[in-house]
Structure 1
Amino acid sequence: MADKPELLSPAGDIERLNVALTYGADAVYLAGPRFGMRAAAGNFSDEDMEKAAALCHGRGVRVYVTCNTVMRGEGIAALPQYFERLQAAGADAVIVTDLGAFTLAKKYAPKLKIHISTQAGIMNAESARAFYDLGASRVVLARELTLEEIAEIRAKTPAALELEAFVHGSMCVAFSGRCLLSNYLAGRDANSGACAQPCRWKYRLIEEKRPDDWLEISEEGGTYVFNSRDLCMIDHLPELLEAGVTSLKIEGRTKSAYYAAAVTNAYRHALDAALQGIALPRVWSEEVNKVSHREYSTGFYFGREGPGQYYKDSMYFSDCDVAAVVESCDGEGNAVLTQRNRFFAGDTLELLTPGGVPETFTAGPMLDAEGLEITAAPHPMMTLRMRLPGIAPQYSILRKPRQAELA
């Protein structure tokens, strides 16, 4: 790994991989069709995995493959061949939870580095060092650790052991993701990547002799009793670096390409500012409010009690909607766009470009695919042309602030 701390972004499919690369990731994590904890993500076939590795390495970006499900017999039997394919495809590391998977990775893919998943629940230096002694190059720390506990682990482990920690995204009510609610309530194995997220459901009580009388658990505050807030540490990267974190991980392989773009872009600026020892401009702290998210918190980093749950609801909200994505743009700002949400000429929009500060502008005249002038882009995924306020490379994003609708 490079000497400086790493920004690690999710890549649920090839589109989100391209976006993560474009917006500044140092490394990406992704999965094949099996063995990853996000079965609902698009994921990568054997052929796609090879293409992804080549694409990333061409840009100096590392590729880590998740193989972190809790392995049953039929799964573990398929791993030797799978690890061989990952090594041949050019992956840099594999992320595992199961000790048997760890052993098989060492045997059948010795060129792959091994990272220990957060699901292993590493909470102390002895555990971290034990995995290092077995051959792991990195541990993904349990999300329940405080900054002080991370600093202690760093002080008591070999300097060559890399420490990875989550900085943004969804949190799980269960310890390090070890949950059986989905298995019991929906018949979907959470530890095999098929979680139905029953922690986001609204719950009521039923008294045995009155089965039709549903009782609220509390009179006020809501009954989403398992619903965790989302993690957001964008204003606290200096503290994470001071504690000794090597890799800053963004959660979200099942989330949108826009999420991957905006959050990677914001944390790229935040990490660069932290490394330079300068204050983070407020615009980047505000960026994370412009993607779909739940109520934010700083997780357990500033205390073992954590922030508690968010009982009112489990709804996502955002300050913006994506209007269109740039497919191409000439030197004068004339762009070919793909529509994502309905918008009109005259709307107030923001242009988000890789590495650039978001720019507010007014949407001008638009042309459809046939070159006819239109006043709106009403059809999903339609192609249109429009003049932008500047040059915008592929994967730049036009978004519509929601407050503009209320003005």
Structure 2
Amino acid sequence: MREKKIELLAPAGDMERLEMAVAYGADAVYLAGTAFGMRSFAGNFTPEELKRAVDLCHKKGVRVHVTCNTMPRNDEVARLPEWLTYLDQVGVDAVILADVGVMALAGKYAPHVQRHISTQASIVNYETARAWHDLGADRVILARELSLDEIREIRAKTPPELELEAFAHGAMCVSYSGRCLLSNYMTGRDSNRGACAQPCRYQYALMEEKRPGEYFPVYEDEKGTYIMNSRDMCTIDHVAQLMDAGLDSLKLEGRAKSAYYAAIVTGAYRHAIDAALAGQPLDPVWRDEVEHISHRHYSTGFYFGQPGQFTEDSRYIRDWQIVAKVRSCTPDGRAVLTLNNKFSVGDQLELVGPGLRPCPVTVKALWDEDGERLDQVRKPQMVFQLDLPCQAPPLSLLRRRADLTP
């Protein structure tokens, strides 16, 4: 039996994704306000929504971490005291930052909020981690480029009260700890200000100056031309090793991804952590769940060596589609749901939910909200009824296999 408790930190791009992360087992969520965060294309939270989010999470015993990890300009830094004061007032548990000025302001204007140093600070050694701790940091979020052995050494050579957090799953940047200028140069969208256009995923060719329109393929090797395309990280098979290395928090990337992603990846890693804590192997059904979400080809990041690149294409693998969400369900399985994508009587679906093992569902009958029989449900967000094979908690999902890879 492993006694070390480790935090599962899940992404929450908006309220729907936050609710999914909480329901599927997150110990903490990280999110952003409408400014100062590194994901401008996530839904993000207005001040009023943030207060509701904190209240909801704290009722469930879940911590809330708010990102302030851009490098603010003069006009922005002038607005930070008001924002940090608000975070302190509504009871946010931690602020994630990367700038030493923001660090000082957070200590002054949010004295009850922990200060976590973002992966944007590129912490790759124990001296840097100790220096941030000396400045008042409660936690450092380590750079993705570290090996497991390097993390062990950082843990051994830093104060035990300094918490260590590292990414366990999700997209990786081709640049060092996300410090990329390519998007800004090519599109005017600054990756370091939350607006990356992901030009590393583009397919590039060579064009000679005096032969415009005549393209020559660029090959890294015989496999293809996506020379900067990074794989996604997946460490679900190695959770026990990450815990043994001394990490205090495992972070799931994905604030800009779907509510379905937030639910499934959180649930899978919840089971992985619980199995590791119990000294048990991970049930293969939960390992399989990370194959059911939209992702690029997986690697284990830098934990066990170079992750390698996938140079044939940069497409997401999308093999499953959510069709409906459970609102309520009786003990005998009669469920009220809202529709995401149409389906019909006779279709084969799969039920997943908080604490539920995935199970097949054959659609034998459908009813509208008033109990009238239907052959098909097709209007998005319509409310309908369906018999499930078991009682499913709210926010359970129905999905079907569908090749959505672009």
Is 2:171 the partner of 1:161? no
Aligned to 2:122: 121
Task: Show the 5 A alignment for 1:342-361.
Answer: 342-361=342-361
Partner SS for 1:210: coil
Aligned to 1:298: 300
- Larger mean CA deviation between 328-337 and 386-395 belongs to 328-337
**By how many angstroms is 1:329 displaced?**
1.5
**By how many angstroms is 1:317 displaced?**
1.4
**By how many angstroms is 1:377 displaced?**
2.2
Partner SS for 2:72: coil
**By how many angstroms is 1:197 displaced?**
1.1
Aligned to 2:214: 213
**By how many angstroms is 1:51 displaced?**
1.1
**By how many angstroms is 1:101 displaced?**
0.5
Partner SS for 2:356: coil
Task: Show the 5 A alignment for 1:151-300.
Answer: 151-218=152-219, 220-300=222-302
Aligned to 1:83: 84
**By how many angstroms is 1:220 displaced?**
4.0
| 1:365-406 superposed Cα distances (whole Å, 9 cap, x missing partner) | 111345332222223222221111111111100011349xxx
**By how many angstroms is 1:311 displaced?**
1.0
Task: Give the whole-Å Cα distance in 2 for the aligned partners of 1:222 and 1:338.
Answer: 42
**By how many angstroms is 1:327 displaced?**
1.4
**By how many angstroms is 1:3 displaced?**
6.3
Task: Give the whole-Å Cα distance in 2 for the aligned partners of 1:14 and 1:235.
Answer: 29
Partner SS for 1:289: coil
Letter in 2 for 1:257: A
Aligned to 1:392: 392
In 2 relative to 1, CA 148–3 (structure 1 residues): closer, same or farther, beyond 3 Å?
A: closer
| 1:331-382 superposed Cα distances (whole Å, 9 cap, x missing partner) | 2211111111222222221111101111112112111345332222223222
Aligned to 2:93: 92
Q: Which runs of 5+ in 1 are unaligned?
A: none
Paired residues, what number? 400
**By how many angstroms is 1:221 displaced?**
1.8
Percent identical across equivalent pairs? Answer: 57
Letter in 2 for 1:362: T
Task: Give the whole-Å Cα distance in 2 for the aligned partners of 1:208 and 1:225.
Answer: 21
| 1:221-255 superposed Cα distances (whole Å, 9 cap, x missing partner) | 22121111110000000110111111000000111
Task: Give the whole-Å Cα distance in 2 for the aligned partners of 1:386 and 1:83.
Answer: 46
Task: Give the whole-Å Cα distance in 1 for the aligned partners of 2:294 and 2:83.
Answer: 34
| 1:9-38 superposed Cα distances (whole Å, 9 cap, x missing partner) | 001111111111101000000110001101
Task: Give the whole-Å Cα distance in 2 for the aligned partners of 1:114 and 1:379.
Answer: 45
**By how many angstroms is 1:149 displaced?**
0.2
**By how many angstroms is 1:144 displaced?**
0.2
Task: Give the whole-Å Cα distance in 2 for the aligned partners of 1:8 and 1:286.
Answer: 20
- Larger mean CA deviation between 198-207 and 133-142 belongs to 198-207
> Over the residues paired in the alignment, what is the CA RMSD in angstroms?
1.4
Aligned to 2:41: 40
Aligned to 2:105: 104
**By how many angstroms is 1:119 displaced?**
0.6
**By how many angstroms is 1:175 displaced?**
0.5
Letter in 2 for 1:379: K
**By how many angstroms is 1:92 displaced?**
0.4
Task: Give the whole-Å Cα distance in 2 for the aligned partners of 1:307 and 1:346.
Answer: 43
Partner SS for 2:214: strand
TM-score by length of 1: 0.96
